[in-house]
Amino acid sequence: MRTRRYLASAGVTLWLLAELTLRCTAQQINPMPGVENTVGYLSSGTSIEPKTTSESSAMIHRSLGSWTFMFHANAFLVDIQQNGPRGANKLFSTNWLMPAFYRQFGKQSLSVRTMLSLEPATITKRRYPLLFQTGETAYGLSIVDGQHPHNFFMELAARYDFKLSERSQLFVYGGPVGDAALGPTAFPHRASSSENPLAPIGHHMQDATHIASDVITVGGVEGPVQLEVSAFQGREPGENRWSIRGGKPDSFSGRITLAPYKTVSAQFSTGRIKNPEALDPALDTMRMTASIHHDLQLSSGPVFELDLGPE
């Protein structure tokens, strides 16, 4: 098997230009409003990465009256060629952009978050080749040795925080599309995967609920610890990647996150997911995950990220 990947970092799409702009203008405010708490760096949904991640994260911050506008994006142009009976060739683009608005008033704050992707258009035939990858369906058949595109609406959610003290707060997060409190930070948001154009092999299991419908999460923060519970719809997104699946929450999860140091965050989570698979609608899933994320920035500039997450 031979695989070749060609990545274009400029001039391909608006998101590539935005990514370059972000990296060139990433003068970070520390701490950055709306993206950190006492545990760490706020990431996918309500998940937490090490606090030092914000120091190397490329993101635009702009004041718009009493609101703060935040923007991050990423895109890749990929040419993959795989020989052998299970392989395939394809030219496609993986991409996502994340605009958000944040406002603080007294002890309260509100953030409105959006994550969009044009992969339903830039990945044709409802999948791209990826050996050993499985998950979801294309044209009514299970995807094997391939990865489905992400939905156009990857997140449409809001978060409300109420600060009890300098180190304590309560929060509520939810929306028609969001990330349930189950598993580690999803790979499109993980700093360790920021330059990875393809979904990791464990994506379907480890990050399966990062695009969930009708999510509601409540939680609390006390110093370096965050505890939260979620309710959400367990069925995975359908093959119509442009739509938003509606329905009542029928699944639940809980997660505890601990950050003993600024460079380390760890999470343990468990959940019951009702009927996640379209081709096996009677099957419910009990999932338990644990992971550790370590962020290390050398004095010379390079940043090293390590994620360990058996499931």
How many residues can be counted in the chain? 311
With a cut of 50, say whether residue 7 has pLDDT above it: no
Alpha carbon dihedral 104, 105, 106, 107, in 10-degree steps, equals -50
Burial class of residue 2 in the structure, from the number of CB atoms within 10 Å of its CB (0-12 exposed, 13-18 middle, 19+ buried):
exposed
CA distances to 14, 138, 152, 215, 221 from 156, in Å: 21, 24, 11, 10, 23
With a cut of 90, say whether residue 75 has pLDDT above it: yes
Q: Return the higher-pLDDT residue of 158 and 62.
A: 158
As a whole number of angstroms, the distance between CA 127 and CA 133 comes to 11
Mean pLDDT of 11-25: 38
With a cut of 70, say whether residue 4 has pLDDT above it: no
With a cut of 80, say whether residue 93 has pLDDT above it: yes
- N- to C-terminal Cα distance for the chain? 28
Residues 6+ apart with CB under 8 A from 104: 33, 34
Query: What pLDDT sits at residue 19?
Result: 43
pLDDT in tens, 99-110: 999 999 999 999
pLDDT in tens, 232-283: 999 988 899 999 988 889 999 999 999 999 999 999 999 999 999 888 888 8
Mean pLDDT value across the chain: 85
Mean pLDDT of 16-25: 39
Query: What pLDDT sits at residue 84?
Result: 85
Q: What percent of the chain has pLDDT over 70?
A: 84
Query: What pLDDT sits at residue 165?
Result: 94
**Which tokens hold the place of 147?**
């990865």
| SS3 state at 134 | strand
User: pLDDT category, 32, cuts 50, 70, 90?
Assistant: low
pLDDT in tens, 140-194: 999 999 999 999 999 999 999 999 999 999 999 999 999 999 999 998 888 877 7
Q: Return the higher-pLDDT residue of 32 and 169.
A: 169
